[in-house]
Amino acid sequence: MALCSTDDRGCFPYIHFSRQAWAKLRASMPLTLSEADMRKLRGINEGVSLEEVVDIYLPLARLLNFYIVATQQLRYGMGRFLGYLSPKVPYVIGIAGSVAVGKSTTARILQALLARWPDHPKVDLVTTDGFLYPNRILVERGLMRRKGFPESYDLRRLVRFVADVKSGRAVVTAPDAGFGVDTNRITILHATGAQEALPLMSKHAVAHAILNRVVPLLRETSGYLSTGRRE
């Protein structure tokens, strides 16, 4: 998206917003996440607040929804023009950034928000952790200290996976989980009986996800017990 001025400054590749101006772009989009939801979504060392979700993520989710709906409408329009409706393929959103900057938290929050739109209720999250080379290969190549950097990923496998998704293949398998690899996919059973399925992620990230849910519970229990002792 380019912004052109009426003077001699020409066009710029980006539009700049203040936080206040950006927050207004959410329009009437409601906040569908609670503080309990945020505790599950944020990383263990990341303090994303509901205020940030309202100011930053809701406008972004609304913008992404415009793109997704426009793509869907283009597919139907081309189908009417050609007399043939092409297979529906997923809309892929990529989140890039340096190591440990909050990409996973951003992805989880956007997944939760976008899944609440009626136009695309199914939103899957695939992390790049599943495409890391096994530790054995990283050790052989002297890359253990570079784990998480581009050279530590099986890029051919990653590109093939994305190509399969975008080509509309009926069945696309994400990298495996279990004892033989460095990634895992788990389901957390809560005391209420609710089940929370986590996406495929590194076992390190799985440990953080579990701690991120257990630590607040321990704090609540500790506070309750302490209060009980005082009484």
Cα–Cα distance between 93 and 112 in angstroms, integer? Answer: 14
Going by their DSSP bridges, the two strands 3-4 and 11-12 should be labelled as: antiparallel
Angle between helices 58-82 and 103-114 (to 10 degrees): 60
What's the pLDDT at 198? 76
Cα–Cα distance between 79 and 6 in angstroms, integer? Answer: 39
Q: Model's pTM, two decimal places?
A: 0.68
Residue located via tokens 């539009």: 15
Judge whether residue 64 has pLDDT over 80. Answer: yes
Mean per-residue pLDDT for 97-115?
85
What's the pLDDT at 42? 66
Strand runs (DSSP E) across the chain, as ranges?
Answer: 3-4, 11-12, 183-184, 187-189, 195-197, 201-202
Instruction: Take residue 29 and report the two structure tokens written for it.
Output: 């989009």
Nearest to 113 by CA among 33, 42, 49, 47: 33
DSSP secondary structure letter of residue 53: I
Task: Looking at mean pLDDT, say which of 33-42, 150-159, 190-199, 205-214 comes out highest.
Answer: 150-159
What are the backbone dihedrals phi and psi of residue 153, each rounded to the nearest 5 degrees, phi first?
-105, 150
Nearest to 211 by CA among 39, 11, 29: 39
What's the pLDDT at 159? 92
What confidence tier does 142 reach under pLDDT thresholds 50, 70, 90? very high
% of the chain surpassing 70 pLDDT: 85
Nearest to 134 by CA among 104, 187, 176, 185: 176
